[in-house]
Amino acid sequence: MVSKNRYRDFVYIDDVVDAFIKAYNGNESDSFNLYTVATNRKTTVERLVEEIRSQLPFDVTATYDGSTPGDQFGIYCSYDLIKERLNWQPKVSLETGIKLMVDWAINLPISI
């Protein structure tokens, strides 16, 4: 398949940090569990690129050509266990996360 159809489960960094804090502060008897920090949503490379493009204040073109050798085609996960045990779930949507990331990147100070 074409690389634009590959998919991942993207989680915004603030949600990841929140999950780490909840796990750190969690029940001591629960300290050896592994939790999946995820959104339970497949996001294709094409969808991700289009969302980024829609947030940029200028036009860009994208070319989809192959993939990284040895990389898997797609992955997404369930966050049911961490929701059940630590009351965690993602709060930031893909659209909001991309907007926050693009705004951050565009406003980076440039030093020459």
Residue 21: inside a domain, yes or no? yes
Residue 112: inside a domain, yes or no? no
- The per-residue b/e assignment along 38-72, b for 16 or more CB within 10 angstroms, e otherwise, is bbebebebbbbbebbeebeeeeeeeeeeebeeeee
pTM over the 0.85 mark = no
What CATH number corresponds to the domain at position 50? Answer: 3.90.25.10
For residue range 54-96, what is the model confidence (pLDDT) as tens digits? 999 999 998 888 777 888 889 999 999 999 999 999 999 999 9
Q: What share of the chain in percent tops pLDDT 90?
A: 65
For position 14, what pLDDT does the model report? 97
pLDDT confidence band for 1 (50 / 70 / 90): very low
Structure tokens at 111: 């030093």
Residue 111: inside a domain, yes or no? no
Structure tokens at 66: 């192959």
Q: Print the domain residue range for 66.
A: 3-106
Task: Please tell me the total count of domains within the chain.
Answer: 1
Residue 22: inside a domain, yes or no? yes
Query: Bridge-partner residues for 44, per DSSP?
Result: 7
Lowest mean pLDDT among 61-65, 95-99, 103-107: 61-65
